[in-house]
Structure formats: C-alpha cells, structure tokens
C-alpha cells in the first residue's frame, strides 16, 4: 500500500483519484487523505474512513491558483495578495464558494477552503489529476478524526487499512504542522488556525495583522477544543512544575512518558524520555511523530514541557493545547 512517488505511481494515484478511490499523499505540512472533490461518493468515503462528522468541511487542493475562480465566487484583494505571495505553500484560504462546489465538501457552508500545496509529489499528483480531466482534490489530514496528524507514510498506514488504496511516500513532511488558515468571508481577514505560515509573514503581505478567530468560529475540526490528541492522558507542564513533578515520580505514579525541550532527563528517572528540539521549526517538524511515539509506549501519562511564549511558537502551542484538552 505504501509506494515510492515514482512517475508511474503518481500516474496510478491520479487514475485512482479519478476513479473515485482514496489516495494518501505527502504535502509540505502533513499527509493528506485525498478524494476527487467533484465526486460526492468519493468525498463521502473520506468522511467514513476518518470517522469525521459530515458537517466538518474539507480543504480542496488545487494544482495552481488559476483554478481559484472555478471554486470561489469572490476573491478579495487580500486573498489575491496572500495567494500570490504564498502559493504553492502552507496556506489555506477560506472564500465564498462557487455554486458548483459540492455540499459534502463544505459541510453545507457557504464558503470553501482552498490551498495550492508546495510539495513536489503533491504538485505532480494534482497536475496529473488535472490532465486526466480532474479539478481539485479534497483532502483532510490523513489521521483518524480527533487524533494526531500524520507526518510520515507509516503514520497513515497505522491509521488506515483497506480504506486507502495507495499511500505515496514522500518521506517526513518538511513543516510537520498543518497549513495556516485565513478566512475572507467577512469584511476583514480572520486567522482561523495558526500553522506553518507565520503570523509575521501574513502581516507583512496584508499590511496589518489578521483578526484572530475565536475557537467557537466556523465548524473547523482543528478548532475543536480537544483534537490532535494521543490516547494516553496527556498534560502540559511549565518547566518548573515539570521539574518538581519529576522529583516525585515513583512506583505510585506509574509509567510516565516525557517530552521536554529545555530539561535533561534526570539520572534516576526510569520512564520514557524524549528530547524535543529547542528551535520552533524543528520542534514542529517532529511534534506529531513524537506524540505518536509517546502514545505507542502505552504509558500511564504523557507529560509535555510547555513550549515557549513567542509568536513563532503559536501553532505548536495551539496543537499542544488541543492535544492536552480534557473533556
């Protein structure tokens, strides 16, 4: 099921998509679980495979920005500017949808999420799909609903069995964290999800910072309080609290698995210890693989050192907050 992204396999993947099957492909952010966005049965298959509620919309992936006008009925100047600056790349625009966009894709909303990914395998796949008469590929992150996203082909295979016909292996994803989502559905741009493209970059091109969306905003699964979550109970602990808690680990605390970026493993600690990178981009790159590996240890609890405060950490903080949300 996992295959190398050779031209033959990309061609095969494009044909499978065109025939209504599901194909997983690498992007620069995370792996996607793709289906022909013009084929309602294929799109429904994505929801079934993920276990995703029908009202949560999917992002449509396009071969290039010239396809925008077939999907969006209005493209405000700010959206144009962002697309010109960052596509292909880790940015998703939410725009008023064209009337032909399927309700299954948008969850019945009047807007649609669009993105031109930059990963060479994703680009080649989309171009081949277009050559076959296709238009856009609807693709959520290739993980079960609510769980940790996939940044390696193996992660996708772990989450999905026969539902996915083919997984194109593009190696580990460069960013390792999802695209930044900006909505242009009201009179000013709204940041719905911090992501691989930084707020500073958005601000530079827009001329001012986008408004920050409230987490109660549009039905976006990545914006649910509890998401990206390991099965093991997981807590975020600021450095000092983690140090103190580590001093009390013993037989009564059970097996603890730790992810720390500024603390070294204490000599007497006998749980699972993962050192995370102390640089934001490197930390994000490894985050989901670390969460999956920590979860696989079947510890009683996962303790994660709270990441730093700076704006460059906002996407990582957002994902960890949701990964550790209880209830």
239 binds, options ligand TXA, Mg ion, none, Cβ within 5 to 8 A by partner type = none
Lay out the site mask for ligand TXA across 4-43 (x = CB under 6 A, - = otherwise): -----------------------x-xx-x-----------
Pick from 59, 67, 150, 166 the residue near ligand TXA by CB under 6 A.
Answer: 59
Note the helical H segments in 163-279: 199-206, 239-246
Residue 173 CB neighbour total at 10 angstroms: 25
Instruction: Using the minimum distance from each CB to ligand TXA, give the nearer residue, 94 or 249.
Output: 94
β partners of residue 2:
167
Q: Smallest gap, in angstroms, from Cβ of residue 47 to ligand TXA?
A: 10
Please confirm whether the linkage preceding 184 is cis (ω < 30° from 0). no
* Beta-sheet pairing, 32-36 with 2-3: unpaired
Return all residues near 110 (Cβ < 8 A) that are at least 6 apart. 96, 97, 185
Site for ligand TXA in 140-199 (CB under 6 A): 140-141, 178-179, 181, 192
Residue 249 binding ligand TXA, by CB under 6 A: no
> Quick one: which of 298, 147, 110, 117 has its CA closest to 227?
147
Q: Smallest gap, in angstroms, from Cβ of residue 34 to ligand TXA?
A: 8
Q: Smallest gap, in angstroms, from Cβ of residue 202 to Mg ion?
A: 20
Q: Smallest gap, in angstroms, from Cβ of residue 274 to ligand TXA?
A: 24
Residue 324 binding Mg ion, by CB under 5 A: no
58 binds, options ligand TXA, Mg ion, none, Cβ within 5 to 8 A by partner type = ligand TXA
> Quick one: which of 160, 121, 117, 110 has its CA closest to 136?
117
| 3-state secondary structure (DSSP) of residue 240 | helix
Residue 141 binding Mg ion, by CB under 5 A: yes
> Quick one: which of 284, 249, 288, 286 has its CA closest to 270?
249
Select from 52-60, 62-70, 125-133, 317-325 the region that touches ligand TXA (CB under 6 A). Answer: 52-60
Select from 14-22, 106-114, 140-148, 162-170 the region that touches Mg ion (CB under 5 A). Answer: 140-148
194 binds, options ligand TXA, Mg ion, none, Cβ within 5 to 8 A by partner type = none
Rounded CA-CA distance 278/295 in Å is 21
Pick from 38, 45, 56, 128 the residue near ligand TXA by CB under 6 A.
Answer: 56
Q: Where are the beta strands (DSSP E) in 39-159?
A: 59-62, 91-96, 111-115, 136-138
Residue 29 binding Mg ion, by CB under 5 A: no
* Residue 187: burial class (beta carbons within 10 Å; 0-12, 13-18, 19+): exposed
Rg of the chain, C-alpha, whole Å: 20
**Footprint of Mg ion on this chain (CB under 5 A)?**
141
Question: Which chain residues interact with ligand TXA by CB under 6 A?
Answer: 27, 29-30, 32, 56-59, 92, 94, 106, 109, 111-113, 115, 117, 139-141, 178-179, 181, 192, 218-223
């Amino acid at each position: 099921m996992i295959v190398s992204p050779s031209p033959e396999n990309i061609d095969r993947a494009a044909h499978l998509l065109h025939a209504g099957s599901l194909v997983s492909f690498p992007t620069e952010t995370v792996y996607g679980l793709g289906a022909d966005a013009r084929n309602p049965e294929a799109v429904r298959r994505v929801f079934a495979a993920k276990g995703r509620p029908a009202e949560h919309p999917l992002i449509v992936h396009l071969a290039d920005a010239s396809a925008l006008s077939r999907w969006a009925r209005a493209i405000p100047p700010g959206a144009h500017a962002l697309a010109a600056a960052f596509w292909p790349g880790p940015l998703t625009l939410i725009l008023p949808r064209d009337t032909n966009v399927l309700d299954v894709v948008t969850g019945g909303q009047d807007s649609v999420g669009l993105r031109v990914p930059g990963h060479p395998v994703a680009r080649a796949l989309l171009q081949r799909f277009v050559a076959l008469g296709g238009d856009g590929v609807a693709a959520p992150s290739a993980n079960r609903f609510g769980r940790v996203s996939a940044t390696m082909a193996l992660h996708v295979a772990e989450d999905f069995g026969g539902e996915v016909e083919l997984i194109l292996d593009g190696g580990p994803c460069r960013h390792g964290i999802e695209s930044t989502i900006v909505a242009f559905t009201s009179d000013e741009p709204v940041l719905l999800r911090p992501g691989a493209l930084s707020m500073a970059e958005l601000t530079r091109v827009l001329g001012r910072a986008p408004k920050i969306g409230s987490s109660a905003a549009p039905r976006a699964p990545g914006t649910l309080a509890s998401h990206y979550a390991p099965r093991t109970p997981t807590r975020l602990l600021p450095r000092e609290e983690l140090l103190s808690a580590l001093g009390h680990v013993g037989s009564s605390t059970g097996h603890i698995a730790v992810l720390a970026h500024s603390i070294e493993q204490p000599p007497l600690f006998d749980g699972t210890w993962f050192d995370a990178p102390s640089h934001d981009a490197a930390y994000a790159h490894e985050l989901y693989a670390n969460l999956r590996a920590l979860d696989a240890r079947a510890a009683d609890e996962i303790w994660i050192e709270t990441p730093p405060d700076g704006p460059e950490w906002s996407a990582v903080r957002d994902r960890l907050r949701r990964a550790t949300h209880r209830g």
